[in-house]
Amino acid sequence: MSIDLYDAMSTLRAVRRLRPDPIPDAVLERVLQAACWAPTGGNQQPWKVLVITDPERKAGLKEIYKAEWDPYVVNFLERVAGTPGEEQWRKVADSGNYLAEHLHETPAILLFLANPAFMAITDAKLDRISMVGGGSVYPAVQNAMLACVAEGLGCTLTTLHCFREDEVKELLGIPDGWATVGMVPIGYPLLKGHGPITRKPPSVMAARDNFDGSWP
């Protein structure tokens, strides 16, 4: 499938309502190939992706995910109540509820793993939470999600399962040393799928030369 780079990026939004229709392996292969093309520190590719299509394992992931989602969404709705964006956030919560209810029917769930033993994590010893390890796996996740746009597949990145990482690792035979850093349910969209997004632009997100600088 062919799509312009900027068209893919500017329409990649969270698609949480997915049809159960299976995804051909040839299509999944292109999504996985996109992930494999991503750069990693020292070209080590210190990650792995599990493609979960087995009904029992999907059901297991659904139980794990829903156990975290249900209390999360209650708290989320309390936080947004009365705020200017409440209506929009309620729609997000609705689609999140749909995902949590139907995760086991998603045709494929990509679970991205990473192994810090194969990474040089330069911020590991700083007096703040480390993030640099993510630099050798989330580019692959982003490539996979952009490929989903090209292939007409809905998707979204979730990390709630991390609260129950031990259960996920048990379910999928993931050995010690491997971390579970992203779950990406993918499938053909039930509704419109990817489309225009609203994000803060460079004039807000960028600064020239100094933190307090302006762009452009």
In single-letter form, the type of residue at position 153 comes to L
Query: Binders of a copy of itself among 169-208, rule CB under 8 A?
Result: 172-175, 178-179, 181-182, 197, 199-202, 205-208
With CB under 8 A as the contact rule, which of the stretches 97-105, 140-148, 185-193 interacts with a copy of itself?
140-148
CA neighbor of 113 nearest in space, from 41, 39, 176: 176
HSE-up of residue 214 (Cα within 13 Å, Cβ side): 1
- Using CB under 8 A, which of 18, 23, 35, 103 touches a copy of itself? 35
Kindly state the smallest distance separating residue 188's Cβ from a copy of itself, in Å: 18
With a CB cutoff of 8 Å and minimum separation 6, the contacts of 16 are 95, 96, 98, 99, 154, 156, 185
CA neighbor of 199 nearest in space, from 5, 4, 10: 10
- Using CB under 8 A, which of 53, 66, 97, 98 touches a copy of itself? 53
Instruction: Kindly state whether residue 73 participates in binding a copy of itself, applying the rule CB under 8 A.
Output: no
CA dihedral of residues 40, 157, 81, 77 (deg, nearest 10):
-120
With CB under 8 A as the contact rule, which of the stretches 22-30, 97-105, 185-193 interacts with a copy of itself?
22-30
Tokens 């807000």 identify what position?
A: 204
Instruction: Kindly state whether residue 18 participates in binding a copy of itself, applying the rule CB under 8 A.
Output: no
Q: Whose Cβ is closer to a copy of itself: residue 103's or residue 146's?
A: 146
Instruction: Kindly state whether residue 93 participates in binding a copy of itself, applying the rule CB under 8 A.
Output: no
- Using CB under 8 A, which of 18, 32, 99, 100 touches a copy of itself? 32
